[in-house]
Amino acid sequence: MLGNFVTGVSIMAPAGMLPELSHAFGVSVHEAGLLITFGAVVLCVGSPVSAWLTSRFDRRLLLSVSVAVMAAAQFASMLAPNYATLMVVRLVMLAVAALFTPQAAGTAAMMVPPERRGSTMSYVFLGWSLALAVGLPLVAYAASHIGWRVAYGGIGVIALANLALLIWRIPAGLVGTPVDLKTWGDLARNPLIVLLVVITVLQTSGQFVVFTYLGPLFAKLGGSAQLAIIAFGIYGAMGFIGNVIASRVVDSWGAYRTSLAAISMLLVGVATWALGAGIVPVMLASMFPWGMAFSSANSMQQVRLAGAAPLFASATVSLNTSGLYIGQAIGSGIGGALFAHELYYAIGYVGVGFLVLALGSVILSRRAL
């Protein structure tokens, strides 16, 4: 769980410091946002490739190496002299970090009996919720009040602590079912798995159209980029609460019903943002339903994929992780283009469109069971 916290903060950190990075390196907000867009492209390719190349490796070794690289990259980012260096360091880091979340999910699935798999995987993914509940607001605050270099250094220190705990606590000798090219072919021919990955792409695209540029949007529509710190805090805290609730009800409700509720709430949250853009209390209020659902929606996708092919949990989860990062690339790319053309109000409605498609796909997925 702590490893997912480190991974989540490492991946999302630029979203909390876009104005500061833009000012420090003399680039536009849109160009600074490419740290997320290009990073997401590396992640979406790296996740399945790393699952394939490392499926026969000891899980403790894999998870530890991944976090060690993330720690080193944070300190390198802290010392980056220019935007190009920061971009290169980030892309190298993400090529390795891509393996952590799917391998952590696969490791968790191997360590518990089948009847506890859903709640355990939801618990592991609380790390991502905490990354947004605690990590991202702290990054945004540190970047704006102390300095973005300090924010990167802080992430590096936490990553080192996580590395020590992984080496100490993860059992040695955990190796999953080998993943070969035939595995990917079999998964690609499974209609439920394909549809679940599509759902992930759609719902993530809908969120990241807005989320990537939350700070600059608050500056343009709400009068102050500092409001984004409050928004990140609400979003993340509600995400933590939502994931705790989902982990408690999924074993009785079932992953489908829990997923349907989460995607529906995502749609409500982003629609509230779109309709209330320019009205600060409404913009902040949209973070409550949106935040409540974002992490639990992804956790349920992971649980449904693990259930669709239990022997290949790390492979299916890596596909879903790729879908997550494809969605980040699509959403942040579209959001950046709209922001660059000053179409600030349109951004929310594009997000709503993606989430309507995601909700329809969730309903359709029930027939693929």
Check if the beta carbon of residue 39 is closer than 8 Å to that of residue 11: yes
The pair of three-digit structure tokens given for residue 205, joined into one six-digit string: 């695209």
When pLDDT is averaged across residues 85-114 and rounded to a whole number, the result is 84
Give the per-residue pLDDT at 55: 66
**Averaged pLDDT, 199-218:** 93
Q: Which domain holds residue 99?
A: 2-368
Picking from 61-75, 214-228, 237-251, 336-350, which range would have the lowest pLDDT averaged per residue? Answer: 237-251
Tell whether the model's pLDDT for residue 114 goes beyond 80. Answer: no
Instruction: Give mean pLDDT, residues 190-218.
Output: 91
Mean pLDDT of 321-342: 89
**How much is the pLDDT for 258?**
87
- Indicate which CATH number applies to the domain containing 9: 1.20.1250.20
Structure tokens that stand for 84 in this block: 């190009």
What percentage of the chain carries pLDDT values higher than 90?
46
In this prediction, residue 223 carries a pLDDT of 82
- Lookup: tokens for 47: 């996740």
Going by C-beta distance under 8 Å and a sequence separation of 6 or more, which residues neighbour residue 367?
none
pLDDT value at residue 149: 96
- State the pLDDT at residue 116: 72
Whether 313 has a pLDDT exceeding 90, the answer reads no
Mean pLDDT of the chain: 86
Mean pLDDT over residues 267-280, rounded?
Answer: 96
b/e for 170-199, b at 16 or more Cβ within 10 A?
A: beeebebbebeeebbeebeeeebbebbbbb
Q: pLDDT higher for 309 or 100?
A: 100
Radius of gyration of the chain (CA): 19
pLDDT at 132 over 80: no
Q: With bands split at pLDDT 50, 70 and 90, how would you rate the model's confidence at 367?
A: low
Distance CA 1, CA 132 (A): 13
Confidence of residue 118 (pLDDT cuts 50, 70, 90): low
Asked if residue 296 lies in contact with residue 258, where contact means CB atoms within 8 angstroms, the answer is: yes
Would you state the pLDDT for residue 270?
96
Mean pLDDT within 353-366: 93
Q: Are 361 and 269 in contact (CB under 8 A)?
A: no
Residue-level pLDDT at 117: 67
Q: What is the pLDDT of residue 310?
A: 66
Q: How many domains does the chain have?
A: 1
Mean pLDDT of 72-87: 96
Nearest to 106 by CA among 46, 44, 161, 179: 179
State yes or no: pLDDT of 86 exceeds 90: yes
pLDDT tens, residue by residue, 147-189: 999 999 999 999 999 999 988 888 877 776 666 666 667 777 8
Q: Rounded to an integer, what distance in angstroms lies between the CA atom of residue 228 and that of residue 301?
A: 28
pLDDT exceeds cutoff 60 at 119: yes
